[in-house]
Structure 1
Amino acid sequence: MNERHPHSNKSFLGPLVLIAAVVVAVGAAFAYTAGWLTPARLTPTKIVEVLAPPAGPALGFRRAHAKGICFTGTFEANGAGSDLSKAQMFAAGTYPVTGRFNLASPDLKAPDGTARVRSLSLRIRTPDGQEWRSAMINAPFFPVATPQAFYDLQVASADKSHPDALKNFATAHPEIGAFSQWAGSAPFTSSYAEDRYNGINSFVFTNAQGQDQAVRWSFKPAAIPVPVSSDELKKREPDFLLADITERVAKATQRWAMTVMVAGPGDPTSDPSKAWPEDRRSVGVGTLSVTKIEPEADGSCRDINFDPTVLPAGMRTSDDPFPAARSAAYSVSYNRRTAEEKDYPRTPSITTTTGAKP
């Protein structure tokens, strides 16, 4: 159904079942900011509500990516990123990081071995008072090309009254074929520390000379990924990912190398379902080091909204509609969960200070 990955209807439906299971997971990430005054069009509230699991959301928690764990650490820039962006975080130096590992699922009790998509969220602060927030996933691209298509996919995957709903959606949106193939064949790892996390949306970096370049980025693990079958993962303890990353970081700092890929002529910047060619210019700009793990209930990441439009000077959004859309949906989720704090109590003896902004 996709010209690059042809499938018969029969062979394609198997991976689509997997897509139906994980698509809400990738989810909370995406909403459509247009249509505030036109009820027939999408709004952030509609997206947040369509992502809710059948039993309703876990009160006090993020509306998707509900299950996660906080960390702190540093980003050590090597200076090479300054050729691309004047953002201070790319000037050679070390900057504080607060972040979160999480499952891309709205189900707070989801067993770790059942989640196909995992996520890494970061906030990096610099001495000039600016900060950069980002949320990435271990998939190399997104299932669909537009926010409207994403919403329609949620509806189709939840439609039990029409057995062909998902098949019909795939026919209308052949770009989902690449994600379906990745979800069905890419190897799993048994640790957050072994995953590569990709910024699937395009942004624009501006350097000190005023030159613009469209970019995407990724964080590649220093830990060697060890492939594990999905069947093996499902046999493990329900919280094995949380236990594993806690144990690893207690023993040694865990690291990821940040690489920025620069778009070439004709590379799509508005469509996160299309990967850029691997031969594009890539610049290694620094290293993320995770030095401490914190349970989320009292952790420094708890009250951070990892809004991808919170950017320092030298970075801005591109023609990709998803960052602004994610920002709008995250705001709805943030406002709801912080109003429900009594449903997610902190440890009484612990006071956290995050300095977070909505």
Structure 2
Amino acid sequence: MSTPTPRRGPMLLLLPIALIVLALALLFAWTGGWIGDKGVTPQTMVNTAEASGSPQPGFRRAHAKGICIAGTFTPTPVAAQLSTARVFAQPSTPVLGRFSNPGNDPHAPDSKAAVRGMALQLKTDDGQEWRMAMNSFPFFASSTPEGFQAMNAARLPDPATGKPDPEKMKAVLARYPEIANFMAWSKSAPTPNSLANTRFNGVNAFLLTDARGETRAVRWSMRPHTPFVATDPARLQAAERDFLAADLGRRLAAGPLRWDMVMQFAAPGDPIEDPSKAWPDTRPETVVGTLTLVSAEAQADGACRDLNFDPLILPQGIAGTDDPVLHARSSVYSVSFNRREREVSQGAQQQGSAR
């Protein structure tokens, strides 16, 4: 006489699924910095950005001052051989983007903007998106989120003096010596006199996968067709507060502005997961397309205002690496986005109740 097989209850049948969901949730939380011994969280990093100046509800916590831009991206024939991403196969892709200045003050004078940002959203005809966030520096300040957070915290004013404590920065440089390279660059690099002639770099590495399944590590940059002209320090001090936007408007009124998108390919041994180290200029490079900008508008009511330029929103054929700074940027952008969206919503509710 055979022993009957015991029947499994419905809760027991669902247990494996529940365990999988729990594991995915824990993995998401860990990579986002909410749990685990990571030393810094996205919330902490956003809090530090907020503390760097007066409160600015409804604005980005970093690179708060910006200009919305629009145009198209046209790939070169070689691009489709490097990646299966649809953006490299279709004739052109509409682009929505944003130029920005560093800091949390949306009204800061452009004369303080030694670093500038370019963020883009490319949406292809099949609904896939590619979002990217680039800056005018050639490499990132730190190799880790912890180092970047420590640098920003050391820059906060000391309540007793109203100025940053130099001893705190000395301690940061002793622990994260790569930051000294970034500081040296920022003191010596000439600043372009226009957004139109600024080169923007994606300092994080990404992975391109082609139709054969071959994967290459790359870093990309947007290189302007407009010739470089350095800012005259004497004129900079006398420049109007929003001279970058005014200059951009004048140039676009005269015709489109263009940047070539250049992919730089890593060689064996190059630091793929350390954005604080630039790859040698001797590495192979390929132009994969041209960005053409045709219009710009103020961000207050512009199409870019409510867009989160998360650098890990990627199309098929392009993937992120395990670079911890890249993943921290994605998480920090999410926290900043959620906070400002909540503030905008609360402001709208308060205006409605006051009527």
Q: Distance in 2 between matches of 1:185 and 1:248?
A: 28
How do 1:279-358 and structure 2 match up within 5 A? 279-341=282-344
SS at match of 1:200: coil
3-state secondary structure, aligned to 2:141? coil
Q: Output aligned runs, 1:199-348, within 5 Å.
A: 199-341=202-344
- Asked if 1:191 corresponds to 2:194, the answer is yes
Match of 2:6 in 1: none
Shift of 1:293: 0.8
Following the alignment from structure 1 to structure 2, what is the Cα–Cα distance between the partners of residues 339 and 302?
Answer: 14
Q: Assess if the C-alpha contact under 8 Å between 1:60 and 1:343 holds in 2.
A: no
Which residue of 2 is the match for residue 94 of structure 1?
92
Residues 50-89 of structure 1 aligned to structure 2 (within 5 Å): 50-89=48-87
Query: Kindly tell me: are residues 107 and 265 of structure 1, through their superposed partners in 2, closer, same or farther at Cα, counting changes over 3 Å?
Result: same
Which secondary structure state, in structure 2, belongs to the residue aligned with residue 51 of structure 1? helix
Q: Name the residue aligned to 1:13.
A: none
Q: Which has the larger radius of gyration?
A: 2
**Residues 234 and 285 (structure 1 numbering): CA distance in 2 closer, same or farther, change over 3 Å?**
same
Matched letter for residue 191 of structure 2: F
Aligned to 1:24: none
- Report the residue type matching 1:306 in the other structure: F
* Residue of structure 2 in register with 1:139 after alignment: 137
- After alignment, is 208-217 or 155-164 more displaced? 155-164
Q: Which residue of 2 aligns with 1:356?
A: none
Residue 234 of structure 1 aligns to a residue in which SS?
helix
Report the Cα distance in structure 2 between the residues aligned to 1:288 and 1:63, rounded to whole angstroms.
27
Measured in 2, the distance between the counterparts of 1:55 and 1:118 equals: 18
Q: 1:215 to 1:239 in 2, by over 3 A?
A: same
Aligned-pair CA distance for 1:193: 0.5
**Contact 1:61/1:344 (<8 A) preserved:** no
CA separation of 1:272 and 1:155: change in aligned 2, threshold 3 A:
same
Q: Distance in 1 between matches of 2:144 and 2:94?
A: 34
Partner amino acid for 1:103?
A: N
Task: Render the CA deviation track for 1:83-116: whole Å, top value 9, x for unaligned.
Answer: 2211011125111000000102111121101111
Matched AA of 1:339: R
Report the CA distance between 1:204 and its aligned residue.
0.7
> Residues 264 and 197 (structure 1 numbering): CA distance in 2 closer, same or farther, change over 3 Å?
same
Deviations 1:135-189 (A, max 9, x none): 0000000111111111111122226364311122222222123212211111111
Aligned-residue offset at 1:55: 4.5
User: Structure 1 pair 289/206, CA: closer, same or farther in 2 (3 Å)?
Assistant: same
Q: Percent identity?
A: 44
Change (3 A) 1:258 1:56: same
Is the Cα–Cα contact under 8 Å of residues 53 and 105 in structure 2 kept in the other structure?
no
Structure 1 position 292, deviation (Å): 0.9
Which range moved further: 50-59 or 281-290?
A: 50-59
> C-alpha offsets along residues 297-356 of structure 1, whole Å, 9 cap, x if unaligned?
1111111100001000001111211222111111111111112226888xxxxxxxxxxx
Task: List, as ranges, runs of 4+ consecutive aligned residues in structure 1 with deviation greater than 4 Å.
Answer: 32-35, 342-345
Work out the CA distance in 2 between the residues paired with 1:239 and 1:76: 30
- Partner Cα separation in structure 1 for residue 233 and residue 342 of structure 2: 37
Distance, in Å, in 1 between the alignment partners of 2:307 and 2:157 is 33
| Partner residue in 1 for 2:127 | 129
Q: Which residue of 2 aligns with 1:44?
A: 42
Change (3 A) 1:191 1:127: same
State the match for 2:14 in structure 1: none
Q: Match for 2:344: what amino acid?
A: E
- TM-score normalised by L of structure 2: 0.84
Evaluate the alpha carbon distance shift between residue 55 and residue 264 of structure 1 in structure 2; reply closer, same or farther with a 3 A threshold: closer
TM-score calculated relative to the size of structure 1 = 0.83
Amino acid of the structure 1 residue aligned with 2:241: P
What does residue 174 of structure 1 align with?
177
Structure 2 residue runs of 5 or longer lacking an equivalent are 1-29, 349-355
Matched letter for residue 169 of structure 2: L
- Aligned AA (1:83): Q
Q: Give secondary structure in 2 for the equivalent of 1:290.
A: strand
Cα distance in 2, alignment partners of residues 147 and 329 from structure 1: 10
1:343–1:37 distance in 2 versus 1, CA, 3 Å: closer
